[in-house]
Amino acid sequence: MSWTDKCAVRTINQLRDRFSITDFVETGAFKGINARFQSRNFFKVLTCESNKDYCFEAMANTSDCRNVQVHLDDSEHFLREYTYKHRFDGRKDIPFFYLDAHFYRKEGPRWQVQKELKALDGFENCVIAIHDFANGMGHCIYDGERLGMKVVGKLLKEVNPYFNYYTNTLEFCDIIKEPKDLNLIDDASTRDNIKYANSSDNKKYRGILYCTPDKLDDSFDLMSWSEYGT
């Protein structure tokens, strides 16, 4: 839920402008609030949700957003379809892949993000953000394994061996407390998400890993992953 953090919103918009991005491609639509929010920041928003109930709610919540496409689909298949069409159409533009489909079911898979990155294998010319990343703030952890470079590092290199890696920091987090703080629609879904995000520091401050095809300048409130040192 990066939309609950004003600094993350600003960073994503900066990346959009830096790389002239039109497509925001999200995995894990949940109830569609992030897709609805990003619809005013990007020319096109494409998102998927494998849970039928959540997907239909996301469709309802974005029904007035003409530039949002919500797919009832597994995130790996969704990304493979997107990348195939992107290449088939001969497109050279840079999409923004926002990977947030991390919930773990006991029956598996533990790390859906690994399958998502395999679906992007060799894409190269893209920006990737992995939400809930282990950078010292709140992150996903399953059976004692953290969502860090040990989980995704090798696969990211197979997407683009020349990626530059950056992470957000606690210093540059600005969590909203009311829908009006970001001019959001004030409905039950939005309020529930904001309440959840503010329920503890672990939920409030979530780690994000940003992967970019070129280096960023100092105007970004991010730390180089090599600087972070783990």
φ, ψ (nearest 5 deg) of residue 111: -120, 90
**What are the pLDDT digits (tens) for 86-97?**
999 999 999 999
CA distance 229 to 50: 35
**Confidence label for 226 from pLDDT (cuts 50, 70 and 90):** confident
What's the rounded mean pLDDT across residues 182-187?
93
Half-sphere exposure (CA, 13 Å, Cβ side) for 134? 15
Half-sphere exposure (CA, 13 Å, Cβ side) for 92? 0
CATH number of 160's domain: 3.40.50.150
Segments in the chain forming alpha helices (H): 6-18, 33-38, 52-61, 75-88, 112-119, 149-159, 188-197, 201-204, 225-228
Which H helix or E strand runs over 151? helix 149-159
Instruction: Give me the pLDDT at residue 102, please.
Output: 79
- Determine the distance from the C-alpha atom of residue 191 to the mean position of all C-alpha atoms in its chain, rounded to a whole number: 20
Number of domains into which the chain is organized: 1
**What are the pLDDT digits (tens) for 120-169?**
999 999 999 999 999 999 999 988 899 999 999 999 999 999 999 999 99
Range of the domain at 128: 2-228
φ, ψ (nearest 5 deg) of residue 144: 85, 0
Q: Which two tokens stand for residue 135?
A: 């950078």
Asked if residue 47 has pLDDT above 80, the reply is: yes
Instruction: Give me the pLDDT at residue 62, please.
Output: 97
**What are the pLDDT digits (tens) for 50-84?**
999 999 999 999 999 999 999 999 999 999 999 99
